[in-house]
Amino acid sequence: MAHKTLCPYCGVGCGLEASPPAVPGKATNRDKEGRPIWKVMGDKSHPSSLGKVCVKGATISESLDKNRLKTPMMRESLDEPFRQVTWDEALKRIVGKIKTTRLVQGPHSICMYGSGQFQTEDYYIAQKLLKGCLKTNNFDANSRLCMSSAVSGYIQSLGSDGPPCCYDDLELTDCAFLIGTNTAECHPIIFNRLRVYHKKNKDVKLIVVDPRKTQTAEAADLHLAIKPGTDIDLMNGIAHLLHQWGLIDSVFIDEQTTGFVDYAQVIESYPPELVARNCGISVEDLQQAARWWGESKRVLSLWSMGLNQSSEGTAKNRTLINLHLMTGNIGKPGAGPFSLTGQPNAMGGREAGGLAHILPGYRLVKNEQHRREVEKFWGLTPGSINPQPGLSAWEMIQGLEQDRVGVLWIAATNPAVSMPDLERTKAALLRSPFTIYQDAYYPTETAEFAHVLLPAAQWSEKTGTMTNSERRVTLCPAFRPAPGSARADWEIFAEVGRRLGFEQQFDFADSEAVRNEFIQLTAHRPCEQRGITYEILRKEGPRQWPCAEGGEPQPRMYTDLRFNTPDGRARFAAFHSRGLAEPPDGEYPFVLTVGRLYGHWHTLTRTGRIDKIQKMHPEATIEVHPYDAEKLGITEGMMVEVRSRRGWCRFPAKITKNITKGTVFAPMHWGAMWGDRTEANMLTHPEACPTSGQPELKACAVRLIPVTPE
């Protein structure tokens, strides 16, 4: 029997069907080494992906049995080897350490760094443990590095988080505006859908904004290869022309928004000649983009880390949303600002309160009424939840540097590869007095910094729900046993909660009971999900929120043109760009931009163990424009040392006109385990958006030094 589930890689959230290796009367499915493996195919009945699947989803089962952490392990100090222990020993040590650290250093010395790989149930129980019972908001997730600027942008412009669009809009739009997203490689199934529709409909326009000529840009009618960091100039320049030409929706602006007058004044100072010069594009291309925006009845924008990973990430998100508001492109089919999530359940994390400034049900830590609602629901005394946001991802690193962190609990993520400024990150991790690392795999780069290792069950081994980028919730059942004594993340958090004395708060029979509790906290909230129970998901299949109890799922938000602000109107906000936090200069004359490759995922924890993907992308390279290569004497394949103010790497050169002059590109996947000095985040810096706390991983200043063979 095939089991229906969800791909555990990216936020597209494709439906999968997994069949067991051995079916009576049929040949056993085996990998190239002859090991029996589960056969995985696209689920044709899943409405988000309609049976399509990319190489990552198709090969997921090959990673399941390799290098798994099967039992808890411990050591007293980092220079000792790990020794195998029982769960009881490991949990006793963790609980003892949490108790004494809280007593000596206070509740805010406890931190948890989680992951968009969590199921929503894992996220929810972690919030209850940290924010409710342990009285610290120091829970953050790797989503902070991925899409927290989109969260801030939506909240500030529209009154609450939540991408308002759905994938059907890809086939209903007149103009798709893709900025800061290499969708063809990073969200391939979404892009295929858009590409097929675009090819069939000659009048539909596809605009791609990216300093690189990616596979996404190659499919575009118009590729705007702007200089890194000039996104706000470009979007204000488009707004200037729309306003000048009268291609705006005055009725929508008057009736559904506030702040347009101030915004209109700011965009006045973005004439096309100035914008084109700043962005490094032609005036004609800028005008073409503005004309397509203004003359299309339905404009859909897509973006991901190219806008979000910026020291002005929230401003970039809001500047893009401004374009939708001034042209009335929201709340209707084929139109809207649609941010794409990187992780498979980053959306579920947002719903369950899985960042340091939010609480379950799209509530805010800073909002007193929200805190009281959650405390009451959790059976805690008023005042239990701290009114201040906790430490964000990078602030935890700073907390370690300042000896403010006593217990660091890392789960389902690999910060020793994915954080910016890795030298500094690793030095901070070394200072941690007590680190718990909970993961499915061992070894990983982060495990090197742990005192306790806890084996986690993963995809196919635990039951829970995940929400994809179009707000669609899928039930992901367990259909294989977890290896050794590995447990679901939420079960581990709940067990620690009970051992800390919160028996009532963590008395759950199973993950269905966890979801049943969580969805009550979404009642009458923008992410309402009481109509999305396990029972309904089993019967009806994946469902989109908002969906009230007994109600129908809503494919789009804001169809009534009422936003989640107190007066129901969306907010314009005007921004001038500050440019890159670390612009190139005489000493470091190039801008390094980092990104992802089609086959690999994050820090190679899974895909590094899949032969087909390793063959597809055997090594990290650095992309250099031929003009720059010639000036520096770099030839194809030559080893190039890349230096920033923080560290250095070495990559073979890939000389290509697909990158703009003065910019170089390296993939971010490779950690210390997988290559020699190919950790791109050795070079990046942690300067973050002051509103979202998302670091500017996308751009830093570097210099290139060709390495002459000895």
Positions in the binding site for ligand SF4 (CB under 6 A): 7, 9-10, 12-14, 49, 53-54, 56-57, 187-189
Cite the DSSP H helix spans in 64-187: 87-105, 120-127, 148-158, 183-186
Peptide bond into 47 cis (omega under 30): no
Residue number with CB closer to ligand SF4 (53 or 170): 53
| Cβ–Cβ < 8 Å for 352, 127 | yes
Measured from the CB of residue 118, what is the shortest distance to ligand SF4 in angstroms?
A: 16
Residue number with CB closer to ligand SF4 (138 or 465): 465
Measured from the CB of residue 173, what is the shortest distance to ligand SF4 in angstroms?
A: 20
Contacts of 306 (CB under 8 A, 6+ apart): 179, 180, 181, 182, 210, 231, 698
Residue number with CB closer to ligand SF4 (128 or 602): 602
Residue number with CB closer to ligand SF4 (293 or 601): 601
Residue number with CB closer to ligand SF4 (202 or 615): 615
Residue number with CB closer to ligand SF4 (143 or 432): 143
- Strands 464-467, 472-476: pairing is antiparallel
Measured from the CB of residue 56, what is the shortest distance to ligand SF4 in angstroms?
A: 4
Residue number with CB closer to ligand SF4 (10 or 436): 10
Measured from the CB of residue 54, what is the shortest distance to ligand SF4 in angstroms?
A: 3
Residue number with CB closer to ligand SF4 (189 or 330): 189
Euclidean distance between CA atoms 556 and 554, whole angstroms? 6
Measured from the CB of residue 5, what is the shortest distance to ligand SF4 in angstroms?
A: 11
Measured from the CB of residue 609, what is the shortest distance to ligand SF4 in angstroms?
A: 16
Residue number with CB closer to ligand SF4 (57 or 420): 57
Measured from the CB of residue 222, what is the shortest distance to ligand SF4 in angstroms?
A: 25
Residue number with CB closer to ligand SF4 (520 or 614): 614
Max CA distance (Å), the chain: 73
- Strands 73-74, 452-455: pairing is antiparallel
Torsion of CA 61, 67, 72, 74, to 10 degrees: -150
Is 632 strand, coil or helix? helix
Q: At 591, phi and psi to the nearest 5?
A: -100, 125
Measured from the CB of residue 613, what is the shortest distance to ligand SF4 in angstroms?
A: 11
Measured from the CB of residue 616, what is the shortest distance to ligand SF4 in angstroms?
A: 13
Contacts of 344 (CB under 8 A, 6+ apart): 6, 7, 8, 9, 10, 11, 13, 116, 117, 466, 468
Euclidean distance between CA atoms 126 and 512, whole angstroms? 16
Tokens of 684: 């990046």
Helix, strand, coil proportions of the chain in percent (round to 5)? Answer: 35, 15, 50
How far the first Cα of the chain sits from its last, in Å, is: 59
Euclidean distance between CA atoms 521 and 379, whole angstroms? 13
Torsion of CA 45, 48, 51, 55, to 10 degrees: -150
Peptide bond into 481 cis (omega under 30): no
DSSP state of 48: T
- Residue 22: other Cβ atoms inside 10 A: 11
Residue number with CB closer to ligand SF4 (56 or 318): 56
CA distances from 591 to 445, 475, 697 (A): 27, 42, 12
Measured from the CB of residue 117, what is the shortest distance to ligand SF4 in angstroms?
A: 12
Cite the DSSP H helix spans in 82-230: 87-105, 120-127, 148-158, 183-186, 188-200, 215-218
Tokens of 447: 């495990």
Residue number with CB closer to ligand SF4 (14 or 385): 14
Euclidean distance between CA atoms 498 and 46, whole angstroms? 37
Q: What is the CA radius of gyration of the chain?
A: 24
Measured from the CB of residue 187, what is the shortest distance to ligand SF4 in angstroms?
A: 6
Measured from the CB of residue 429, what is the shortest distance to ligand SF4 in angstroms?
A: 28
| Burial class (CB within 10 angstroms; exposed 0-12, middle 13-18, buried 19+) of 463 | buried
Residue number with CB closer to ligand SF4 (10 or 325): 10
What is the H or E stretch that residue 249 is in?
none
Q: Which residue is nearest to ligand SF4 (CB)?
A: 57
Measured from the CB of residue 685, what is the shortest distance to ligand SF4 in angstroms?
A: 28
